[in-house]
């Protein structure tokens, strides 16, 4: 009887780009929408709001890309330093490192004999890979990629910031603030559901979580903006 091929769908390999993309889109929607609502509450004209939105998109996307790259590159530097240190230890004390790997497998539930055999075979195949994965916790599915994170974050921020921009362009002047808020809330709900789908978690939970924080940020920004209402100034 032939053996059937069985493979499971896992989501962990999406960690690198998904975190940056969700963070970027979420920040693009919330920060630019909140910025526009705060400016609108201050009495700014529709032309000023559009310029502010474009400026927020450009500066935000650039900032997100730079921040993600620097942050993730720091993680890469740490991983490379750990791998270099481990490589030196494997060269200087191979027997000690073998015992260390064996102990790791014993703590995970293997018998001492089996743990030693597993550690021995993995060491013969690729000692550094075995220690990187099982001792340090570095795995190819979750390893950091600075350029991927920066690009995903900047692109996602730009896409998120387009929602308030289109709201300004398509809405009558007197309804800009309300339109931007409604579109912002709906886009945040869609983002939360989409990110939850990509991560394999409940859609409603993700949508509510993202939307609730977004509404709080919008209301706070609108309140701050109302304190500087230019139309009420002498």
Per-residue pLDDT tens digits for 8-20: 554 444 555 566 6
pLDDT at 143: 64
For residue 231, pLDDT over 80 is answered with no
Averaged pLDDT of the chain: 83
- Is residue 202 in a domain? yes
Residue 192 has pLDDT above 60, yes or no: yes
Domain count, the chain: 1
pLDDT in the model for residue 59: 93
pLDDT at residue number 139? 73
Which pLDDT score is estimated for 148? 82
3-state secondary structure at position 202: coil
What is the DSSP-derived secondary structure letter of residue 135?
I
Give the pLDDT confidence of 194-230 residue by residue, as tens digits. Answer: 877 766 778 888 889 888 988 888 888 888 877 876 5
In angstroms, the CA 187 to CA 148 distance is 24
Report how far apart, in Å, the C-alpha atoms of 63 and of each of 16, 71, 144, 231 are. 19, 12, 19, 32
Structural domain contains residue 100: yes
Q: What is the pLDDT of residues 44-102, one digit of tens each?
A: 888 999 999 999 999 999 998 998 899 888 888 888 898 899 899 888 998 999 999 99
Q: Note whether 195 and 37 are within 8 A (CB).
A: no
Is residue 5 in some structural domain? no
- What is residue 7's predicted lDDT score, i.e. its pLDDT? 53
Confidence check: pLDDT of 1 > 50? no
Residue 230 has a pLDDT of 52
pLDDT given at position 166: 92
What's the Cα-to-Cα distance from 124 to each of 60, 84, 102, 111, 128, rounded to whole Å?
49, 19, 13, 20, 10
CA neighbor of 151 nearest in space, from 21, 23, 25: 21
Question: Is 94 within the bounds of a domain?
Answer: yes
Whether 92 maps to a domain, the answer reads yes
pLDDT digits (tens, 9 = 90+) for 147-172: 888 888 899 899 999 999 999 998 88
Cβ proximity of 59 and 178 under 8 Å: no
8 Å CB contact between 172 and 42:
no
Report pLDDT for 141.
Answer: 59
The pLDDT, as a whole number, for residue 12 is 46
Domain that holds residue 155: 15-224
Higher confidence at residue 22 or residue 103? 103
4 belongs to a structural domain: no
Amino acid 79: pLDDT: 85
Please say whether the beta carbons of 69 and 147 come within 8 A: yes
* pLDDT average, residue stretch 176-195: 88
> pLDDT > 90: what percent of the chain?
29
């Amino acid at each position: 009887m032939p053996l059937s091929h069985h493979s499971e769908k896992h989501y962990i390999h999406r960690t690198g780009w998904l975190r940056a993309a969700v963070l970027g889109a979420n920040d693009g929607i919330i920060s630019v929408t909140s910025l526009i609502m705060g400016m609108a509450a201050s009495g700014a004209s529709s032309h000023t709001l559009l310029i502010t939105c474009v400026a927020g998109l450009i500066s935000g996307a650039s900032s997100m890309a730079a921040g993600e790259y620097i942050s993730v590159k720091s993680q890469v530097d740490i991983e490379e330093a750990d791998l270099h240190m481990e490589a030196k230890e494997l060269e200087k004390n191979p027997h000690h490192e073998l015992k260390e790997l064996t102990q790791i497998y014993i703590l995970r539930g293997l018998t001492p004999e089996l743990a030693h055999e597993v550690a021995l075979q993995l060491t013969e195949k690729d000692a550094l890979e075995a220690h990187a994965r099982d001792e340090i916790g570095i795995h190819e599915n979750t390893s950091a990629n600075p350029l991927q994170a920066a690009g995903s974050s900047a692109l996602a921020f730009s896409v998120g910031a387009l929602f308030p921009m289109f709201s300004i362009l398509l809405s009558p002047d007197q309804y800009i603030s309300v339109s931007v808020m409604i579109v912002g809330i709906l886009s945040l709900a869609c983002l939360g559901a989409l990110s939850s789908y990509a991560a394999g978690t409940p859609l409603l939970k993700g949508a509510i979580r993202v939307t609730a924080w977004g509404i709080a940020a919008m209301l706070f920004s609108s309140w701050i903006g109302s304190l500087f209402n230019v139309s009420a100034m002498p």
